[in-house]
């Protein structure tokens, strides 16, 4: 898992960590791809879940998350046209 070492998975900090990344990824999807808020939040959630599953292979979390949200947003835009 890509959580910082000081965050316990049973701690309230986990929720704060998730919300922070969810908001940041949603903002990218909204600003760069002009997606609706709900869609952006759904894609951001999916990206975070995928990151948790693939975390042992992720070396730079921020870059991975930015690429993943961009890829997800592009796919959404292509399929909704």
**DSSP-assigned states of every residue in 26-65:** HHHHHHHH---HHHHHHHHHHHHHHHHHHGGG-S-HHHHH
Confidence (pTM): 0.76
42 occurs within a structural domain: yes
pLDDT digits (tens, 9 = 90+) for 42-67: 999 999 888 777 765 666 777 888 89
Q: What is the average pLDDT across 67-78? A: 93
2 occurs within a structural domain: no
Instruction: Please give the tally of structural domains in the chain.
Output: 1
Between CA 32 and CA 14 the distance in angstroms is 27
- Domain of residue 19, residue span: 12-80
Average pLDDT, rounded, for the chain: 83
**Spacing of C-alpha 72 from chain mean position:** 10
6 occurs within a structural domain: no
pLDDT band at 77 (very low <50, low <70, confident <90, very high): very high
59 occurs within a structural domain: yes
């Amino acid at each position: 898992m890509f959580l910082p070492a000081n965050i316990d998975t049973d701690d309230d900090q986990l929720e704060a960590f998730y919300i922070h990344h969810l908001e940041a990824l949603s903002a990218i999807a909204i600003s760069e791809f002009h997606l609706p808020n709900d869609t952006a939040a759904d894609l951001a959630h999916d990206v975070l879940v995928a990151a948790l599953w693939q975390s042992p292979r992720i070396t730079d979390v921020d870059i991975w998350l930015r690429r993943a949200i961009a890829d997800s947003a592009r796919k959404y835009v292509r399929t909704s046209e």
